[in-house]
């Protein structure tokens, strides 16, 4: 079975093709990862690769209370405990570096300033996990952003660069830039939203891709392309991403550009488990054809569908999200056909160990036939 075959991931040697997808778990008190974070990831080190939860590159890039950052010395020290724990357990770990752009709220920003984006349009219907008017943590409608000046775009690219360097200092095997789910990078890519009239936006696809590509180039020049990956969600509608006329052309142009950069990987995320199906099978095949490097896919996979995608050559690695939450030993369970435990959705984002580090590894002995169904 290909899922359990080793893979050469830019010099790392994962023993299987199962990746733990990035998942925000909102447990970082004061945005600093701690021993509980280290335990959580250590328990899941059987994954071929772990990609951490989205971690903000700056205060400005923050959209969720209790999400960790990687822009202060304390955060870097906290992450070092995590990478050491995962490496000790024989695993490999990348950090997801993100800037939410307009999916934020003034109560999360320095001096309650407006969040920033490619343009000053509010993400209708989107929420941030911030402070409500009474000062209590809550999901609140996002604030109206202001548009970044051309000069400031250079500063944001530099924030990504510094976060990537901090990630290396913290012992990560690489970084995944968060170009998915309607956050800042996609706010530049999306042609319905990005109507800027400078070199970073407007009608021309090359302009809308410029921020993402320049950021990738700066990061990979600093830490190496083999330590740099990116996550995208083409045609995704999360966080108010509207359709636009040259949508497929835009994503394939990006695929072509990324292909020449010899990155660790490109990670495509389909949002259908979140109620926003995005990529057709034809589109995936076209993306695969244009992008010649390592391709990772995520979104609703079970064992059978993952095997199928690998067998069809649609992807090289498969990322599993929610199955890793309740099954720290997911790789072992899939391999042996053990049943999968179900996630308790009430503790996804609660503080503390409950629903975080207290899911046990499989303790039974005999494979359960219903597992085959659960895992497919």
Residues with active-site annotation: 183
What is the residue whose two structure tokens read 């604030």? 143
* Cβ 352 to ligand FMN shortest distance, Å: 16
For the four alpha carbons of 209, 213, 214 and 216, in that order, the dihedral sign comes to positive
Is residue 5 within 8 Å of residue 311, measured between CB atoms? Answer: no
* Cβ 326 to ligand FMN shortest distance, Å: 11
Is residue 24 within 8 Å of residue 54, measured between CB atoms? Answer: yes
Question: Any idea what the Cα angle at residue 71 is, between residues 67 and 74, rounded to 5°?
Answer: 80
Nearest to ligand FMN of 196, 356 (CB atom): 356
* Cβ 355 to ligand FMN shortest distance, Å: 10
Is residue 334 within 8 Å of residue 324, measured between CB atoms? Answer: no
CA 264/CA 177 separation, integer angstroms: 11
* Cβ 324 to ligand FMN shortest distance, Å: 8
CA distances from 201 to 33, 151, 169, 206, 212 (A): 36, 14, 33, 8, 11
Nearest to ligand FMN of 9, 21 (CB atom): 21
Spell out where the chain has E strands.
18-20, 49-56, 93-98, 116-117, 127-131, 137-141, 146-147, 174-179, 228-232, 265-269, 295-298, 317-320
Nearest to ligand FMN of 207, 347 (CB atom): 347
* Cβ 21 to ligand FMN shortest distance, Å: 3
Q: Which residue is nearest to ligand FMN (CB)?
A: 321
* Cβ 96 to ligand FMN shortest distance, Å: 6
Is residue 86 within 8 Å of residue 79, measured between CB atoms? Answer: no
CA 152/CA 118 separation, integer angstroms: 11
Phi first, then psi: what are they for 339, rounded to 5°? -65, 150
What is the residue whose two structure tokens read 């064992």? 303
| Contact positions vs ligand FMN (CB under 6 A) | 21-24, 53-54, 96, 178, 180-181, 231, 269, 273, 298-301, 320-323, 348
Nearest to ligand FMN of 47, 205 (CB atom): 47
Q: How far apart are the first and last CA of the chain?
A: 14
Nearest to ligand FMN of 117, 278 (CB atom): 278
Nearest to ligand FMN of 350, 368 (CB atom): 350
């Amino acid at each position: 079975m290909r899922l359990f075959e080793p893979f050469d991931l830019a010099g790392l040697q994962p023993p299987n093709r199962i990746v733990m997808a990035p998942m925000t778990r909102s447990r970082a008190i004061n945005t600093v990862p701690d021993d509980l974070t280290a335990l959580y990831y250590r328990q899941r080190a059987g994954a071929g690769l772990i990609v951490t939860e989205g971690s903000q590159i700056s205060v400005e890039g923050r959209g969720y209370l209790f999400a960790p950052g990687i822009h202060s010395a304390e955060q870097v020290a906290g992450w070092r405990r995590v990478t050491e724990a995962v490496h000790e357990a024989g695993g490999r770990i990348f950090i997801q570096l993100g800037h939410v752009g307009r999916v934020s709220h003034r109560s999360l920003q320095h001096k309650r300033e407006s969040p920033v984006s490619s343009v000053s349009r509010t993400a209708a219907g989107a929420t941030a996990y911030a402070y409500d008017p009474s000062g209590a943590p809550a999901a609140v409608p996002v604030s109206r952003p202001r548009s970044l000046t051309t000069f400031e775009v250079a500063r944001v690219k530099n924030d990504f660069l510094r976060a990537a360097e901090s990630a290396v200092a913290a012992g990560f095997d690489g970084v995944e830039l968060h170009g998915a789910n309607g956050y800042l990078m996609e706010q530049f890519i999306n042609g319905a939203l990005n109507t800027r009239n400078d070199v970073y936006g407007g009608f021309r696809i090359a302009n809308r891709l410029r921020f993402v590509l320049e950021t990738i180039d700066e990061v990979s020049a600093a830490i190496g392309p083999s330590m740099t990956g990116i996550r995208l969600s083409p045609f995704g509608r999360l966080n108010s991403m509207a359709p636009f006329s040259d949508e497929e052309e835009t994503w394939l142009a990006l695929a072509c550009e990324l292909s020449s950069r010899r990155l660790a990987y490109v990670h495509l995320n389909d949002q259908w488990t979140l109620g926003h199906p995005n990529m057709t099978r034809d589109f995936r095949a076209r993306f695969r054809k244009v992008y010649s490097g390592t391709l990772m896919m995520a979104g609703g996979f079970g064992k059978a569908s993952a095997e199928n995608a690998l067998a069809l050559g649609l992807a090289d690695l498969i990322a599993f999200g929610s199955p890793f939450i309740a099954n720290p030993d997911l790789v072992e369970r899939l391999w042996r056909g053990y049943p999968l435990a179900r996630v308790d959705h009430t503790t996804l984002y609660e503080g503390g160990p409950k629903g975080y580090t207290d899911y046990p590894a499989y303790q039974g002995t005999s494979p359960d036939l219903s597992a085959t169904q659960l895992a497919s």
